[in-house]
Structure 1
Amino acid sequence: MYLGRTTPLIKHAPGAAPPRHQLVCFPYAGGGASFYRPWRDELPPDIDLLAVQYPGREERIDDPLIDDMGELAELLAAELAPLLDLPFTFFGHSMGAAVGYEITRRWAESGFPVPDRLIVSSQFAPPRIHAGDLLRHDDEGVLDELVRLGGVPGSVRESPELVQLIVSVVRNDYQVLDSCRFGADAPALDLPVTAFCGADDPAVTPRDIREWAAFTRAGFTERIFDGGHFYPRERLSETVAAVSELLARPAR
């Protein structure tokens, strides 16, 4: 086992072999780094796993939440930059795809090294990234949407305190999405982009993810999995195998 690189916002899960590549994973709205913990057992031993922990959740629950994409991306980029000393790939699920794109865009514009590939999962292409009408819902409406997407079980309603905590974090994260101002002039990236999606996702469809093809000048691919919005949880081994296959491809 190699020395960990865990920081307050980055959870490092090294493999059992000398690392050849780093995989940086960004969670969904309301989610935390633990979403990616099971990936360690499925990834090749020479892949370094770095899971991002947004402030205000899990063991960082006492940290102030950040509701602005620019501020969140700046914070995470500063935390990640010193840790990336190998070829690396970004994977972002749902809101995490928007965060991964924004950090990549910023680094490309500043001349900082960018990922070998951006893998976006269950998220619209940049001009359509938004919070929808969720921010106008009351707490019960927000919870209904989370249950519909499969983010939480319906049984969570039995704990009002837990509902309040979940809803407050999700509202914050949708405010992050609402703060995105990519617009129609969002830049295409000079690196490959791969888009993943669940075939039965009620929010982001396979047709939607194909719009990411316009935001790369280095090749676009897609992969559709059985399952819904949280197909990475439902199809864990299949999802990580698809990511591992992409990591095995030669760097740009």
Structure 2
Amino acid sequence: MPRREPRRRGRPEWLYPLRRAAGRPRARLVVFPYAAAGATALRPVLTGLPDEVELLGVALPGRERRFGEPPASGLDGIVDAVAAELAADPSVPTSVFGHCMGAGMALVLAQTHPRLVRGAVVSGRNPPGAPRSTSLDMDDADIIAFLESAGNTAPELLADAFWRDKLLELFRGDAALGEQASQVIGARPLGQDLLVLGGGDDPYVDPSGLSGWAARTSGRCEVLVLPGDHFFVIDPPNIPVITRALGDLVLDAPASTGGDSGGSPRVGRP
């Protein structure tokens, strides 16, 4: 487990180390968690990156080291707090990564603080205008069905009353954040390079529509479709392929200029 960092001046820290770089980091990757999870859940996908890449997780309230706090309800406050911590060391080239709900939050950070973010990884998320995998009008049964069918929630957690209620609370809060993110992302385009990841059998995200992300950025857009369902991103056979693609983006992404480079997608399968 990453070493727990002290809080500064009594305020919660939003960023924590998933893995420290060897020496001065050459690049930084900031990881946003998916709904009802913590960023640590995505660490297996990332540890194969070169040692010179610093990996930072975003600590959302209500989970992991901030388990006792109520879930956050405002996206702006989260994004601004993360940006403030990144701005303390702006010299390290920074990219962002998120899966599903987390991808939306990562893109909002890239859009609203473009000088801090050079590239973005969008995993398991439809482009704006396409149907979303979750919505605010889902009742408890809908949410439980989603968590069961998505396949990444232990059945024993859903069977336990305490953990089931906790997951429902987190999921509802995160669904609200995801809705807010969709509104921001759809309002104007990005300027960063995008790496878009999708599962070939994802029932919630249409892999054939992922090339639509190219229209959302003036930078380059690479789409990579891998075997698997919604949680293809943590399937062990996919991890080496994802790691190579992440390394290419994180270490080579040019600074965002906001110019128009055409946004042409490069679509591939492993």
TM-score over 0.5 for the pair = yes
- Letter of the structure 1 residue corresponding to residue 254 of structure 2: A
Aligned with 2:16 (options 1, 11, 18): 11
Q: 1:42–1:73: structure 2 CA closer, same or farther, 3 Å change rule?
A: same
In the other structure, the counterpart of 1:216 is 217
1:152 equivalent in alignment to 2:153:
yes
Aligned with 1:89 (options 89, 95, 101): 95
Deviation at 1:57, TM superposition (A): 0.7
Aligned with 2:111 (options 105, 111, 117): 105
Matches within 5 A, 1:34-183: 34-39=40-45, 41-108=47-114, 113-128=115-130, 130=132, 132-133=134-135, 135-180=136-181, 182=183
Deviation at 1:183, TM superposition (A): 7.0
Deviation at 1:36, TM superposition (A): 3.0
SS of the equivalent of 1:244 reads: helix
In the other structure, the counterpart of 2:228 is 227
- Residues 130 and 180, structure 1, Cα contact 8 Å, conserved in 2: no
Q: 1:114–1:75: structure 2 CA closer, same or farther, 3 Å change rule?
A: closer
Q: 1:181–1:43: structure 2 CA closer, same or farther, 3 Å change rule?
A: closer
- Letter of the structure 1 residue corresponding to residue 241 of structure 2: E
Deviation at 1:6, TM superposition (A): 7.6
Deviation at 1:54, TM superposition (A): 0.9
Deviations along 1:103-158, one digit per CA (max 9) or x if unpaired, are 111113xxxx132211111112244575744x333323211111111231333333
Aligned with 2:244 (options 229, 241, 249): 241
Q: Tell me the distance in 1 between the aligned counterparts of 2:76 and 2:131.
A: 14
SS of the equivalent of 2:21 reads: coil
Query: Greater shift after overlay, 32-41 or 207-216?
Result: 32-41
- Letter of the structure 1 residue corresponding to residue 30 of structure 2: V
SS of the equivalent of 2:57 reads: strand
- Residues 36 and 51, structure 1, Cα contact 8 Å, conserved in 2: no
Deviation at 1:22, TM superposition (A): 0.6
Deviations along 1:30-67, one digit per CA (max 9) or x if unpaired, are 11121133345311111111111111111201123112
Q: Tell me the distance in 2 between the aligned counterparts of 1:57 and 1:240.
A: 26
- Letter of the structure 1 residue corresponding to residue 109 of structure 2: I
Q: Percent identity?
A: 26
- Residues 129 and 177, structure 1, Cα contact 8 Å, conserved in 2: no
Q: How many residues align?
A: 245
Deviations along 1:136-186, one digit per CA (max 9) or x if unpaired, are 333232111111112313333331211111111011100112234637962
SS of the equivalent of 1:30 reads: coil
What TM-score, normalized to structure 1?
0.86
Deviation at 1:74, TM superposition (A): 2.3
- Letter of the structure 1 residue corresponding to residue 204 of structure 2: A
SS of the equivalent of 1:31 reads: coil
Deviation at 1:17, TM superposition (A): 4.3
The two structures, once aligned, show a CA RMSD in angstroms of 2.5
Q: 1:88–1:157: structure 2 CA closer, same or farther, 3 Å change rule?
A: closer
Deviations along 1:70-105, one digit per CA (max 9) or x if unpaired, are 233223222332244311111111111111111111
Q: Tell me the distance in 2 between the aligned counterparts of 1:201 and 1:120.
A: 14
What TM-score, normalized to structure 2?
0.81
Q: Tell me the distance in 2 between the aligned counterparts of 1:219 and 1:33.
A: 26
- Superposition misfits of 4+ residues, deviation over 3 angstroms: 3-7, 126-133
